[in-house]
């Protein structure tokens, strides 16, 4: 069939290189399966359901990539909308044997940020990284203007869920990363954080290329986290922490606001209140937003 003069050219098919990915990752994830689908409701939901239906199969690591999600989920039930090629959405399910799961979402975010926005030399190390992390699970692209009052636009999010498979606990680690820069008229309504895209850091990037870049370091971080926990990654996260030193409001009734005072070796966030006291905040169901003004802090 020929294309009419007024018909837009069809986007070229995405080339994922699934076999190459499998060959690269399987030595670290023995038995790994790689599946790429054109459309799915939610990669996380699908892998969780499979693990519940067949706990034995769930002991084998599984990577599920969707070119388009129709019912993608974020933290606290928020939806994640993607068009074909606009974003990279995938979930990685694997059994993890850890004494302490605290800080896992921070470790995942750091792996993604370091892969997409590496700090490569001493000159770069002296500058704040463009890609920041908002505790506990968001990647934000900082504006190039250092005087900007915002902490950044949302580039990606992480959703980690677990399921028991016999005596083993399975982690399903879901990620959504905006890849393409979209015109303002194409943005969905209600983007309170704004929208950023990988192409602003890496012009010409597409979803398969982003997947190939982030997966190997992600697997390495997961294996090191399984062995050593979050503590060795704390300094790397702190360098990208967009909330540190900022006044924030919370959804916790007993701690409505405070100044973010970094994370500890377990990935717990600490807030300093006006009386100078420090209070721990675990991720749970709490939501944090920058406050419009900084409350006074003693000491």
Q: Which long-range contacts (C-beta less than 8 Å, at least 24 apart) are formed by 273-277?
A: 273/297, 274/298
What pLDDT score does 145 carry? 63
| This prediction's pTM | 0.88
pLDDT-derived band at 194 (thresholds 50, 70, 90) equals confident
3-state SS assignment for residue 228? helix
Whole-number Å distance between alpha carbons of 286 and 175: 20
Question: Looking at the predicted structure, is the pLDDT value of residue 293 above 70?
Answer: no
The three-state (H, E, C) secondary structure of 141-170, written as one string: ECCCCCCCCCCCEEEEEEEEEEEEECCEEE
Q: How far is residue 271 from each of residues 239, 256, 260, 277, 279, measured CA to CA in Å? A: 17, 10, 5, 8, 5
Across 90-95, average pLDDT: 97
Q: Which of 15, 295, 58, 86 is nearest to 170 (CA)?
A: 58
Across 196-224, average pLDDT: 97
Per the model's pLDDT, the better-predicted residue between 68 and 289 turns out to be: 68
What pLDDT score does 73 carry? 61
Please give the distance of CA 296 from its chain centroid, rounded to a whole number.
32
3-state SS assignment for residue 106? helix
Contact assessment for residue 57 and residue 95, using Cβ atoms and an 8 Å cutoff: no
What pLDDT score does 298 carry? 35
3-state SS assignment for residue 79? strand
* 22-36 residue pLDDT tens: 999 999 999 999 999
3-state SS assignment for residue 44? helix
Question: Looking at the predicted structure, is the pLDDT value of residue 211 above 90?
Answer: yes
What pLDDT score does 287 carry? 74
Sequence-distant (6+) residues with CB within 8 A of 289 are 248, 249
Whole-number Å distance between alpha carbons of 107 and 236: 9
Rg (Cα) of the chain, in Å, rounded?
20
Query: ω before 136 within 30° of 0 (cis)?
Result: yes
Cα four-point dihedral sign 22, 181, 85, 48: positive
Whole-number Å distance between alpha carbons of 10 and 275: 60
Q: How many CB atoms lie within 10 A of CB 111?
A: 23
Q: Which of 16, 10, 9, 12 is nearest to 37 (CA)?
A: 16
What pLDDT score does 147 carry? 58
* 128-160 residue pLDDT tens: 899 999 999 999 999 866 556 678 999 999 999
| Structure token digits, residue 178 | 């905006």
Question: Looking at the predicted structure, is the pLDDT value of residue 92 above 90?
Answer: yes
Across 98-115, average pLDDT: 95
């Amino acid at each position: 069939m020929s294309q009419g003069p007024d018909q837009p050219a069809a986007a070229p098919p995405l080339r994922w290189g699934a076999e190459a990915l499998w060959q690269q990752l399987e030595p670290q994830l023995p038995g790994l399966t790689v599946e790429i689908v054109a459309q799915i409701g939610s990669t996380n939901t699908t892998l969780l359901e499979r693990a519940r239906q067949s706990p034995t199969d769930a002991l084998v690591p599984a990577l599920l990539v969707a070119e388009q999600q129709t019912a993608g989920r974020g933290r606290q039930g928020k939806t994640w909308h993607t068009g074909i090629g606009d974003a990279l959405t995938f979930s990685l399910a694997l059994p993890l044997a850890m004494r302490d799961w605290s800080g896992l979402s921070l470790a995942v975010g750091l792996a993604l940020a370091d892969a997409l926005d590496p700090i490569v030399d001493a000159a770069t190390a002296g500058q704040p990284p463009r890609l920041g992390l908002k505790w506990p699970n968001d990647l934000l692209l900082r504006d190039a203007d250092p005087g900007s009052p915002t902490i950044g636009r949302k580039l990606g999010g992480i959703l980690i869920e677990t399921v028991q498979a016999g005596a083993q606990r399975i982690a399903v680690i879901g990620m959504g990363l905006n890849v393409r820069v979209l015109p303002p008229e194409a943005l969905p309504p209600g983007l309170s954080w704004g929208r950023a895209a990988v192409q602003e850091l890496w012009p010409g990037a597409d979803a398969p290329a982003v997947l190939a870049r982030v997966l190997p370091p992600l697997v390495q971080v997961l294996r090191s986290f399984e062995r050593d926990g979050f503590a060795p990654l704390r300094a790397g996260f702190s360098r990208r922490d967009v909330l540190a030193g900022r006044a924030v409001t919370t959804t916790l009734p007993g701690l409505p606001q405070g100044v973010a005072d970094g994370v500890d070796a377990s990935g717990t966030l600490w807030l300093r209140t006006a009386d100078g006291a420090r209070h721990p905040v675990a991720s749970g169901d709490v939501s944090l937003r920058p406050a419009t003004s900084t409350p006074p802090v003693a000491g």
